[in-house]
Amino acid sequence: MTDLNQKEWAEQLAKDDNAIVLDVRTQEEVEEGFIPNAINIDVREPQQFLDQINELDKSKNYYVYCRSGGRSSQACAVMNQMCAIPNTFNLVGGFMEWAGEVSHN
């Protein structure tokens, strides 16, 4: 896992053609807005989270965020240790500090 600040995360994501954005917030939080093209898998549903993460392509680079950066850090650790996904990038400060584009359903 690599912790990246907002600028680093956005710049690296923009240049990465093997990237997947992963939103680990609750459905209620996602309804308030999300980073475009993000896949939502709620880390607060542990078994469902593990099941869905294990179905992901382990060769991709995962850019992970939550509301403030705490849950996404935990999610990255789980992805690295339990799911053998080596490339995870945690957004420090999370969606609360996100200054980039935001989508709404």
Residue 87: which CATH number? Answer: 3.40.250.10
- Given this model, what pLDDT does residue 17 score? 97
Look up the domain containing 83 and give its range.
2-97
In a domain, 47, yes or no: yes
- Given this model, what pLDDT does residue 27 score? 96
Q: How many CB atoms lie within 10 A of CB 65?
A: 29
Q: How many domains does the chain have?
A: 1
Kindly list the catalytic residues: 66
Q: What one-character-per-residue DSSP string does 3-68 give?
A: EE-HHHHHHHHHH-TTEEEEE-S-HHHHTT-B-TTPEE--TTSHHHHHHHHHTS-TTSEEEEE-SS
Q: How many CB atoms lie within 10 A of CB 71?
A: 21
In a domain, 10, yes or no: yes
- Given this model, what pLDDT does residue 105 score? 81
In a domain, 79, yes or no: yes
- Given this model, what pLDDT does residue 29 score? 97
- Kindly compute the dihedral angle of the four CA atoms of residues 95, 76, 24, 61, in this order, to the nearest 10 degrees: 80
Has this prediction a pTM greater than 0.85?
yes
Mean pLDDT per segment of 10 residues, for the chain of length 105 residues? 97 98 98 96 96 97 98 98 97 96 92
In a domain, 102, yes or no: no
In a domain, 57, yes or no: yes
In a domain, 62, yes or no: yes
- Given this model, what pLDDT does residue 85 score? 98
- Given this model, what pLDDT does residue 71 score? 98
In a domain, 26, yes or no: yes
In a domain, 104, yes or no: no
